[in-house]
Chain A
Amino acid sequence: MATSDAIVIKNLKKSYGKTSVLKGVSFRVKRGSMVALLGPNGAGKTTTVRALSTLLGYDSGTLTIDGYDVKTQPDEVRSVIGLTGQSAAVDELLTGRENLEMVGLLYRLTSRSARQRADELLHDFDLVDAADRPAKTYSGGMRRRLDLAVSLIATPPVIFLDEPTTGLDPRSRLAMWKIIEKLKSQGTTILLTTQYLEEADQLADRIVVIDHGKVIAEGTAKELKSKIGNDRLELTFDDIATYDAAKKLLVSSLTGDDDKSLTVTIKINDTNADVRQVLSKLSRAKINIASMAIQKPTLDDVFLQLTDKKDS
């Protein structure tokens, strides 16, 4: 049981003075799987990753990576992890190739091995043309790719990706996703932090939702979505009369209404059937709608709903 988990976090706590940042975080990552740690800014995602990657001391809890204890065996942990994202960086004055070779040597690779891996990664990450330019001349997307490549130089079995796509343009984000998916298909264990539900949904096997230093939900994207809420149908009307009439008509399935924008919200389980049913109801009652939109659950909804539930 224990050996099937590459990362085990038990009751991790960390506070700065009186401010408690992590209030007992626990979760596991199965070997060869990808878990997304999803949460808003300040939820404790980066703090968790920094504690796991030996960069930050923690007050209590047990962190194990590949069987090594983070607190008592930091060097062993460092030799099996790779870290990339907002808490890592590349050397701006060195070229892409020099960055790769330098970190390869510091992972204790032989010089030949470091050179070979650097070549491979430059090729895999589409950085061959820029290989011998200083990293400060790279675009944001290239720099992230180099950053990730650098952390893969010694092919560590466990990778931490700390918000790898935050601040990237859509095209660079897609390129990054492809790289991460390929990495996953090669059997690397990955812990990804992100504030984008879509990213977690797209990439991860399991999602751990964290807020205010606590895990508030955990499961596959599907499980979480069904727990969190469904798609919503929003109908907007031209005037207060039709709005009121529609409200009366749909009262049984209504989940929200807004007098100012003359909009009603209806929870839908099955997009086709439910929408058709609502529309036919309205047309039978000869109520015209001004506009209509189907809203997917957003990260905002996830948090609002999850924290609401906890408060009530």
Chain B
Amino acid sequence: MATNIEVSKQPAIVSSLRDSWVMILRSSRHILRNTDQLLGTFFQPIMFLVLFTAVYSGAINVGSDDSYTNYLMAGLIVQTLAFGSTTTAIAVANDLQKGIIDRFRSLPMSDIAVLNGHVVSDVLRNMISAVVLIVAGFVIGFRPDASFVDWLLLILLTVLLTLAFSWLSAILGIVSKSVEGVQWLTFVTVFPLTFASSAFVDPETMSSWLRGFAEHQPITHIVDTYRALLIGTPLGDSWWIALLWLVGIIVVAMPVATYVFTRKTSA
């Protein structure tokens, strides 16, 4: 009955890359099938966009000639990407708490492929939601003056940011005890970090105790870099500080996530 099966004989490194590819396909399918979550990732930023421009634009002084919509977009994009990356935490926690992880562990596959799948598929989702957000921005008056090269740099920055945040959130997903706990934890991390930054208002206008933090934390540098590329605000030192943070996070979070994952799942 059973036909002869062919096993592909490849070097270990090729096999584990192939495992990761299989898991990226899996996680991407999850993203596209999980329509509730997908709609949420689209509509939350659009809702913010409408609220902020309609409610605050008159009251907020951003200290430049640009419209508030133009100022706001960089902040909204970064917040959306940060929230998008937290789905890795939820997906990893789900895998660990449902039986599926045992299935994977009983297979002759590379264990880390499970994490790679979730992290890399986050890049796909984040790209989609960034495009949706920017298109929505156009509709209500967002007018970027980014050149072709600027757009390429923005794409690169988005990939880097997603990888950094998703590896961080992978760690959260691994060490957490429940999926609900992860959701709550990512919420109370992303919200204050993005609001206490240059995402929605100029930190200069914040109360002095918060200002010191807001001006120096990584989200501000990342947002300022996005903003400079999108609407040509002065760049200053932000770009290399942002880059250093993102690369630094990836370099640290990736091995840490791998370590805690292996420890959690190894027999």
Residues of A within 8 A of B (CB): 50-51, 53-57, 74-75, 78-79, 81-83, 86-91, 93-94, 98, 102-103, 105-110, 112-113, 116-117, 120, 124, 134, 150, 154-155, 186
Contact = CB atoms under 8 A, between A and B. Distances in A.
A94 B103 contact: no
B157 interface: no
Contacts of B98: 89
Contacts of A51: 267
A249 B26 CA distance: 73
B213 to A, nearest CB: 40
Contacts of A78: 106-108
B5 A91 contact: no
Interface in B40-72: none
B7 A108 contact: yes
A53 B26 CA distance: 24
A158 to B, nearest CB: 11
A51 B30 CA distance: 30
Given A56-B267, A94-B26, A117 B106 contact: no
A103 B106 CA distance: 11
B127 to A, nearest CB: 20
Contacts of B19: 105-106
Given A55-B105, A87-B99, A108-B8, 9 more contacts: A54-B267, A88-B106, A89-B102, A89-B103, A93-B34, A102-B25, A102-B26, A108-B7, A124-B1
A249 to B, nearest CB: 57
Contacts of A86: 99
Contacts of A113: 5-7
Nearest to B99: A89
B267 A83 contact: no
- Dominant SS among interface residues on chain A: mixed
B240 interface: no
A264 B261 CA distance: 60
A92 to B, nearest CB: 8
Of B34, B107, B109, chain A has the most CB atoms within 10 Å of the CB of: B107
Interface string B1-30: 111011110100001001100100110011
* Nearest 7 pairs of A and B residues by beta carbon: A89-B99, A57-B267, A78-B108, A79-B108, A106-B109, A83-B106, A113-B6
A124 B25 CA distance: 26
A81 to B, nearest CB: 7
B190 to A, nearest CB: 24
B100 interface: yes
Contacts of A155: 2, 5
B104 interface: yes
Contacts of A54: 105-106, 267
Contacts of B5: 109, 113, 116-117, 154-155
A154 B106 CA distance: 13
Nearest to B15: A108
B81 to A, nearest CB: 23
Contact of B107 (A91, A103, A112): A103
Contacts of B33: 93, 134
Which one of B15, B102, B106, B109 has the highest number of Cβ atoms from chain A below 10 Å of its Cβ?
A: B106
B29 A116 contact: no
Given A106-B107, A113-B5, A186-B1, A93 B29 contact: yes
A75 B3 contact: no
12 contacts: A79-B108, A83-B103, A87-B102, A88-B102, A93-B33, A94-B29, A102-B22, A103-B107, A105-B18, A105-B22, A155-B5, A186-B2
